[in-house]
Amino acid sequence: MQIPAIGLGTFRLKGQQVIDSVRTGLELGYRHIDTAQIYDNEADVGQAIAASGVPRKALFVTTKIWTEALGRDKLRASLETSLEKLRLDQVDLTLIHWPSPGDAIPVQEYMEALAEARAAGLTRAIGVSNFTIAHLQQAIDAVGADQIATQQVEMHPFLQNRKLADFTRARGIHLTAYMPLAYGKVMHDAVLQQIAQTHDASPAQVALAWLLQQGYAVIPSSTKRANLEGNLAAASLRLSEEEMAAIAGLDRGERLANPDFAPAWD
């Protein structure tokens, strides 16, 4: 299954704001929409999709199972609720949003439950998000690396997660980068600005192109039409080896998504 390289993230967007963002994104050509149970916007995303007129088969919709629904007795029902909110019979990809806090629930239990939900036709594919190397290995042991469609993690020029990325790539598992623009911080970096000027592009487009050229999918978000359009255009930007290396040198381990229940990062 091919995950569209550029998706539309909806984190922190709710109500009319997310409806407008998704509607505009679909008008511009986005076909990959990323949401999650904890975002509390699945119903709004579903409304925007339903009103868009875009055929269901042309869309790729991702949602994520929240930590409170990881138990074998809760996971499937929670995904069914998500489908009702999204007005869909099936999502394309369902991720475990975070490992169980404190590993209270074994990885094997919720990965097997997620695989069962897929077998029941609720989702076309399954994957993980915010997994450490240890958690990812347990997921592989539970369902097999070939069954994990992607690992979605925070990834941008200032947090490159190389150890985790190398492990994931070595196991043949695709990577999706969330927060690829570091909440807009990429716009103010001198190296990215200089490269952008060379290509008559924006620093945001350069940051996205850098990730795309490594084979990752990206899910930037925006409420502004011009930014949504610019992000989508990053797919046509090609960076030189020297430019890719210069961006690789920006890594400073700056993690932006680090809640108190996060695992011990690699």
172 touches 146 (CB < 8 A): yes
Helices (H) and strands (E) in the chain, counts: 10, 8
CA distance 222 to 25: 9
Mean pLDDT of 221-229: 97
pLDDT in tens, 17-65: 999 999 999 999 999 999 999 999 999 999 999 999 999 999 999 999 9
Looking at this protein, which amino acid is placed at residue 123?
Answer: T
pLDDT in tens, 195-207: 999 999 999 999 9
Averaged confidence pLDDT in the chain: 98
pLDDT at 233 over 90: yes
Confidence of residue 1 (pLDDT cuts 50, 70, 90): confident
Q: Facing residues of 152 across strands?
A: 129, 176
pTM of structure: 0.98
69 touches 78 (CB < 8 A): yes
- Known catalytic membership, residue 39: yes
Give the chain's domains with CATH numbers: 8-184+213-224 (3.20.20.100)
What pLDDT was estimated at residue 155? 98
pLDDT in tens, 166-196: 999 999 999 999 999 999 999 999 999 999 9
CA distance 240 to 210: 10
**What's the angle, vertex CA 133, arms to CA 127 and CA 134, rounded to 5?**
100
CA distance 244 to 169: 18
Q: Facing residues of 8 across strands?
A: 33
User: What are the phi and psi torsion angles at 189 (to 5°)?
Assistant: -85, 130
What does the block give as tokens for 254? 């700056």
Q: What is the dihedral of CA 191, 153, 19, 126, to 10 degrees?
A: 150
Three-state DSSP class for 20? Answer: helix
Candidates 30, 39, 178, 216; catalytic one: 39
